Amino acid sequence: MDPSPLRYLSDAEVQGLLPEPRTAVSLARRALVARAKGRAQVPPKPAVRLAGDGFANAMPAAVLDEDLLGCKWVTLVPDNPARGLPTAQGVMILSDARTGETRALMGAAALTAQRTAAVSGACLDALGDRSSPVAFLGAGVQARSHLLVLEALGYAETRVYARRPEAREDLSAWAAEAVPTLRLEVTDDPRAAVEGAGTVITGLSIGLRG
């Protein structure tokens, strides 16, 4: 029997296949429930240290009754932005849970951005107060993915703290197009961002100092 063909999906291809934010939140809730009920295997992730402050993680997981088996391999190098590279880079490996065949390799960046925001969204959907603003610390990729989820969940107001003026300008311009119904305040004052917020989500860069 010939093995199943191995598929490769770039980050751009993965981005084009992602579900809409509300569906992603439902999928994240499903995964969290599976974990809580002991159906999902999520062992502690091993790490190896890289030069400087960098490190790499292997993040395996399985839900065998749904034939789900995979692993994310991710590297985090805080000095990469100075090299013109992303701080975090990675790949997803998907396997057949019955035969062990490797089915797909795919870029992990877009998937990680949506998955992280979807997990926040599942928690907010269950426990959040939509009458209070949500504060988000950081203006990178995770800020964008979280704003998409917040708008989809019906949140009305979000405050984002960003250190750099260009980051504040870029995020404000992006949000005006991507999440037009979400009232957004972008500030360089972290205290102003979190005061009176019903929920605070931190999305600051790993390795950030000061």
Question: Cα–Cα distance between 104 and 185 in angstroms, integer?
Answer: 40
Could you tell me if 69 and 97 lie in one domain?
Answer: yes
Could you tell me if 23 and 100 lie in one domain?
Answer: yes
**Domain limits for position 17:** 7-111
Beta bridge partners of 58: 73
Q: Specify the pLDDT at position 78.
A: 86
Q: Once rounded to an integer, what is the mean pLDDT over residues 74-84?
A: 90
Q: Is there a domain that residue 122 lies in? A: no
Q: Once rounded to an integer, what is the mean pLDDT over residues 15-33?
A: 96
User: Residue 209 — very low, low, confident or very high, per pLDDT cuts 50/70/90?
Assistant: low
Q: Specify the pLDDT at position 47.
A: 94
Residues 6+ apart with CB under 8 A from 181: 151
Could you tell me if 92 and 147 lie in one domain?
Answer: no
Could you tell me if 147 and 104 lie in one domain?
Answer: no
Q: Specify the pLDDT at position 15.
A: 95
Which helix (H) or strand (E) segment is 41 a member of? none
Answer for the pair 131, 198: CB distance below 8 angstroms, yes or no. Answer: yes
Q: Once rounded to an integer, what is the mean pLDDT over residues 144-167?
A: 95
Which among 61, 84, 111 is the end of a domain? 111
Q: Is there a domain that residue 2 lies in? A: no
User: Residue 79 — very low, low, confident or very high, per pLDDT cuts 50/70/90?
Assistant: confident
User: Residue 210 — very low, low, confident or very high, per pLDDT cuts 50/70/90?
Assistant: low
Residues 6+ apart with CB under 8 A from 3: 101
Which among 80, 111, 142 is the end of a domain? 111
Could you write out the DSSP letters of every residue in 150-169?
Answer: HHHTT--EEEEE-SSHHHHH
Q: Is there a domain that residue 116 lies in? A: no
Could you tell me if 104 and 147 lie in one domain?
Answer: no
Could you tell me if 80 and 44 lie in one domain?
Answer: yes
Could you tell me if 107 and 148 lie in one domain?
Answer: no
Each residue's pLDDT tens digit, 81-119 = 889 998 889 999 999 999 999 999 999 999 999 999 999
Give the domain CATH number at 37: 3.30.1780.10
Q: Once rounded to an integer, what is the mean pLDDT over residues 37-44?
A: 95
Residues 6+ apart with CB under 8 A from 156: 130, 133, 182, 183
Number of domains in the chain: 2
Residue 207 predicted with pLDDT over 80: no
In the chain, what percentage of residues exceed pLDDT 90?
Answer: 85
Could you tell me if 21 and 81 lie in one domain?
Answer: yes
Q: Specify the pLDDT at position 70.
A: 97
Q: Once rounded to an integer, what is the mean pLDDT over residues 121-126?
A: 96
